[in-house]
Structure 1
Amino acid sequence: MSNQPLLDVRDVSKHFGGVTALNGVSLQLNAGEVVALAGDNGAGKSTLIKTISGVYQADGGEIRLKGEVVKFATPEAARGHGIETIYQDLALADNLSIGANIFLGREPMTKAFGFLPVLDRKKMAKAAQETMAQLDFHVTRLDAPVGNFSGGQRQAVAIGRAVYWNAQVLIMDEPTAALGVPEQRKVVSLIQTLKAQGRGIIFISHNLQDIFAVSDRIVVLRRGTLAGERKIAETNHDEIVKLMVGG
């Protein structure tokens, strides 16, 4: 790991009218590290990740990516700098294949008969095969619509899309919610693969068991402020719950 954080959120604040959603929150993320973001509903988790990913602009503080101060006017700008957010609904097109979902909105084109532009389906299929192999995740039919896949496989497709576009920071919002135990294990395995590749992951979850299974550190928010930060190896569930509720 480099001494310089991959992502450095410094003293960030965000207001909505008279409501302070974030008040001087700081967070660091290193390459090859998983940092969990925990807190009750209304703690500021969603506002923080949306500020990092360009949905909102901070009213105070700064965000640094690989040491450089960045300001993202849109989520597209954040993605262009290697920050990808995988929301709970995954934003997949169920009727399309893995390759088509990887390129959704960014479809590659080639020319038929020397002049007629058509979808480059070979490139899409190759990207699907290589990306899924990179995640050590295998499905029997790469051309099948992703609506046929299980919850864990759909997570893999969403993660694969981020990996293909060279995301260095992945923000994962409740990736194990509504999944059975075997599917949760698959997602945990995917996260460990991403970590081994040197990517930084912000992991948002209400499930403390999952947080302790995959994270290196945990950052706890409460009412828009930083309630505490702990290394996973040096804390336990009870301490984290107390930080969350203010006990």
Structure 2
Amino acid sequence: MDGAATPALELRGIDMHYGYVRALDGIDIAVHSGEVVGLLGDNGAGKSSLLKVMSGAHRPTGGTILLHGEPTVFDSPGRSTRAGVQMVYQDLALVDAQDIATNLSLGREILRKGPLGRLGFVDRKAQRRRAAAELDGLGVRTAAVTRPVEMLSGGQRQVVALARAATRVTGDRDGVLLLDEPTAALGYEQTRQVRALIRRMAEQGVACVLVTHDLPLAAGVCDRIVVLNRGRKVADVATSETDNDQLVGWITGARASMYGES
């Protein structure tokens, strides 16, 4: 990751007000292609509000969003998705009754050729071939693409959700992947698989923002860590230059902000 390069996604001076409540106060944050940025903070710190701004779910009260250096407006999740920003929510938004291939193809189905295609019939064999190739390209080893999602373990489901997002953010211009607590309720081995997949996506040029309460995960997978406290950014530091005690101090407010704020 070239630190001098234009960030894939950059937010400058982001404010978010809910009535008289200021959820975000002048937040500056950037993530480069091929970088994993951890977004940490206690409950109510502003992490969810910031993710909603990045994903287009909420329009900020003030500030500027730049995508690959170009000012943009995310006034809906659909607009941010079309721009190459994908959000993976905690509930995963998978269709349990459908197989892995169908879930990977949602919104970009392959239609059959000829009259049946014009009537909307899906070419399931072609979708399965593409799904298998995409998973291979990501280095993902999971169940057969014909297996229904409802038969998968929690870790396998999370991997499918991440893989689906990854297939939508890799292309001519590297995209941005937003991850909301991707390892919540997962065991050690499942967490290890998700961690490895996040790193593989970064290696393929995807810019990743990871919201997590799991400090060991953040330390193991993130290149840089940003800490929010009561709606303000109090730290932005390379993972190699900090430690667990410092992070806990910033999260709890026991450690002073890097920016001299009270």
CA distance in 1, matches of 2:212, 2:226: 12
Name 2:124's counterpart in structure 1: 121
The one-letter code of the counterpart of 2:185 is: A
2:15/2:63 contact within 8 Å kept: yes
| 1:52-71 map, 5 Å | 52-71=54-73
1:119-163 Cα offsets, whole Å, 9 max, x none, are: 121332122101211121123421110111122211221112112
Structure with the larger strand share: 1
Give the partner amino acid of 1:143: T
In the TM superposition, 1:116-155 aligns within 5 A as 116-155=119-158
Corresponding residue number in structure 2 for 1:164: 167
Q: Distance in 1 between matches of 2:144 and 2:126?
A: 16
Q: Quote the residue 2:190 is aligned against.
A: 183
1:18 corresponds to which of 10, 20, 25: 20
Q: Which residue of 1 aligns with 2:31?
A: 29
1:42-96 Cα shifts (integer Å, max 9, x gaps):
0000000110110000111101010001101211110101100101111111111
**CA drift at 1:105:** 4.0
SS of 1:177's partner is coil
Whole-angstrom CA distance in 2 between matches of 1:140 and 1:110: 25
SS in 1 for 2:216: helix
Q: Distance in 2 between matches of 1:180 and 1:122?
A: 33
Post-superposition Cα deviations, 1:146-194, rounded to whole Å, max 9, x if no partner, equal 1111222112211121122235110111111101101110011101101
Deviates more, 1:154-163 or 1:108-117: 108-117
| C-alpha distance in structure 2 between counterparts of 1:140 and 1:55, whole Å | 32
More moved, 161-170 vs 216-225: 161-170
Deviates more, 1:145-154 or 1:195-204: 145-154
| Matched position secondary structure for 1:119 | coil
1:41 is displaced (CA, Å) by: 0.4
Aligned match of 2:101: 99
Alignment-mate amino acid for residue 199 of structure 1: V
Alignment size in residue pairs:
247
CA contact (8 A) 1:127 1:164 kept: no
Distance 1:194 1:117 in 2: 32
SS in 1 for 2:199: helix
**Which amino acid in structure 2 is aligned with residue 163 of structure 1?**
A
Deviations 1:26-55 (A, max 9, x none): 101011110000000000000001101100
**% of aligned pairs identical?**
40
More displaced, 99-108 or 142-151? 99-108
Structure 2: give runs of 5+ residues left out of the alignment.
255-262
Q: Match of 1:47?
A: 49
Of 197, 201, 205, which aligns to 2:204? 197
Classify the secondary structure of the residue corresponding to 1:92: coil
Name the SS for the 1:160 alignment partner.
helix
The one of 67, 88, 91 aligned to 1:86: 88
Write the distance in 2 (CA, Å) between the matches of 1:117 and 1:206. Answer: 43
Which residue identity lines up with residue 209 of structure 1 in the other structure? P
TM-score, normalization: structure 1?
0.95
The CA distance in 2 between the partners of 1:222 and 1:133, in whole Å, is 40
CA RMSD of aligned residues (A): 1.5
Aligned counterpart, 2:250: 243
Q: Which moved more, 1:78-87 or 1:123-132?
A: 123-132
Q: Tell me, in whole angstroms, the C-alpha distance in 2 between the residues paired with 1:74 and 1:130.
A: 31
The amino acid across from 2:146 in the alignment is: D
